[in-house]
Amino acid sequence: MSDSTIQHNEDSRDVTFRVHRFNPQVDSKPYFDDYTIRLEKGITVLRALNYIKEHVDASLTFRAFCQAGICGSCAMRVNNMSKLACTTQVWDELDKCREPGIIKVEPLRNLPLIKDLVVEMDPLVEKMKGYSNWVDSKMPEENWGRKEFPVSEAEFLKYDKATDCILCASCVSECTILRANKQYVSPAVLLKSYRMNVDSRDSMHEQRLAGLVKDHGVWDCTHCYRCQESCVKHIPIMDAIHGIREEAIAERGVKDTSGARHAEAFMEDIGKKGKLVEATLPIRTNGVVWTMKNLLPMAFKMVLKRRTPPPPPLVKSTKDIEKFRAEFREMSGHVAKDHAKKSGE
């Protein structure tokens, strides 16, 4: 029996924080430090870390600013999930500990480590720049300030949720593709790109879209939902990803998309090498059938107007490659026909 159930209703108790430490000036590799402190119920993880810094170990390093879940500074991994330390109650985390009473605290993944719990954010900013994550106004700058663009509340609602993003990078840290390919566009950047692309005031939809369908772009997403599950603002990130893909198909056509090319190349790769390389990570993590249904033919599915099934449980085996090829050929056939019909209209 874990003692966390027993002590759960107590107003104060001892809690251990097992914190990731790394100082590049002295450490050759990261290690963990345990800090056990007595805490009152109602304390957040950030306040506990502040307490440790002030009273136990002043060198413990993390970012924090607003302490109110607004600024996005304090994202870190707590008990193996990326979240904001300032909105996370210690008492809630006690339920999620692998070892009773020990809360594990680590830096975000998929971004370079600077020190202890601090990671480098510049790669994310660079991607925002790379994918033009801004509105390029249809109005010339010299005319700004004179009159409003008329925008309906309905249009505003299209990007309302997306503009909740505080760039905390929790989703970036949880993204499966980023773990294998750091050049991948990133969920938060896809979300922002989508937000810009549905804004009628913007003048560079097409250019942005062209960037998004290139390598490391929107077609690389494995559709694993990790980003959405970890989003601290509960933003439906997958809607944005679907949205971009739909737009890509609609505006650029199935055959023309790198998505389709990607899919073919992917299959060939498996056929030729007979084993999985890094780019085929989604198969390794999610199973062939699922990957087939979700990753490759997203484009085709859009055309066929099928709904996405929920992600099935992880399958480790990769032995149904043959079956996968057969189904892929069949599906490509469908799509080709469908496409021909459409373009004929």
Partner 1 sequence: MKPFDIVIVGGGGAGLYAAMEAMKTNPGLNIAVLSKIYPNRSHTSAAQGGANAALANKAKDDTVEMHIFDTIKGSDYLADQDAVEVLCSEAPKIIRELENMGTPWSRLEDNTIAQRPFGGAGRPRCCYCADKTGHTILQTLYEQCLRKGVFFFNEYFALDLCVDGSRSRGLIAMNIKTGRIEAFPAKTVIFATGGYAKMYWNRSSNAAGNTGDGQAIAYRAGISLKDMEFVQFHPTGLRKSGLLVTEGARGEGGYLVNALGERFMSRYAPEKMELGPRDLVSRSLETEILEGRGFDSPAGKYLHLDLRHLGPELIKSRLPQIREMCMYFEGVDPIDEPIPVRPTAHYSMGGIDTDNFGRTGMEGVYAAGECGCVSVHGANRLGGNSLLDILVFGRIAGRAAAEEAGKFNPSPISETEVTAKELELRSFMQPSGHYERYGSLREDLGHTLGMNVGIYREATKIRQGIEEIATLKERFSHVRVFDSGDVYNTNLLQVLELRNMLDLAETVAAGALVREESRGSHTRTDFPTRDDINWHRHTTYTLEGTGPRLGFKPVVMGRYELQERTY
Q: Count residues contacting ligand FES (CB under 6 A)?
A: 12
Q: Closest separation between CB of residue 80 and partner 1, Å? A: 20
Strand partners, 113: 119
CB-nearer residue toward ligand FES: 67 or 308: 67
CB-nearer residue toward ligand SF4: 237 or 303: 237
Question: Pattern of binders to ligand SF4 over 153-192, x per CB under 6 A?
Answer: ------------xxxxxxx--xxxx---------xx--x-
CB-nearer residue toward partner 1: 60 or 331: 60
Q: Closest separation between CB of residue 338 and partner 1, Å? A: 36
CA angle 330, 331, 337 (to 5 degrees): 95
Q: Scanning the structure block, which residue is given the tokens 């390794």?
A: 284
Strand partners, 75: 84
Q: Closest separation between CB of residue 70 and ligand FES, Å? A: 6
Q: Closest separation between CB of residue 21 and partner 1, Å? A: 12
φ, ψ of residue 21 to 5 degrees: the values are -120, 140
Binding-site partner at residue 32 among ligand SF4, ligand FES, partner 1, none, CB < 5 to 8 Å by type:
none
DSSP of 215-272: TTSGGG-----HHHHH-TT---HHHHHHHHHHHHHHHH-TTTSHHHHHHHHHHHHHHH
Q: Return the residues of window 54-83 that contact ligand FES according to CB under 6 A.
A: 64-67, 69-74
Q: Which residue type is seen at 113?
A: L
Q: Closest separation between CB of residue 16 and ligand FES, Å? A: 22
Does 197 bind ligand SF4 (CB under 6 A)? Our answer is no
CB-nearer residue toward ligand FES: 69 or 243: 69
For 151-236, where are the alpha helices, taking DSSP H only? 153-160, 170-174, 176-180, 187-197, 205-212, 226-230
Buried b (16+ CB within 10 A) or exposed e, 47-57: bbbbbbbeeee
CB-nearer residue toward ligand FES: 63 or 223: 63
Binding-site partner at residue 235 among ligand FES, ligand SF4, partner 1, none, CB < 5 to 8 Å by type:
ligand SF4
Q: Quick one: which of 227, 254, 303, 331 contacts ligand SF4 (CB under 6 A)?
A: 227
Q: Are 38 and 14 in contact (CB under 8 A)?
A: yes
Whose CA is closest to 208, among 155, 262, 133? 133
Binding-site partner at residue 144 among partner 1, ligand SF4, ligand FES, none, CB < 5 to 8 Å by type:
partner 1
What's the distance, CA 79 to chain centroid?
18
Q: Which residue type is seen at 22?
A: F
- Interface residues toward ligand SF4, by CB under 6 A: 165-171, 174-177, 187-188, 191, 221-227, 231-233, 235, 237
- Interface residues toward ligand FES, by CB under 6 A: 64-67, 69-74, 84, 86
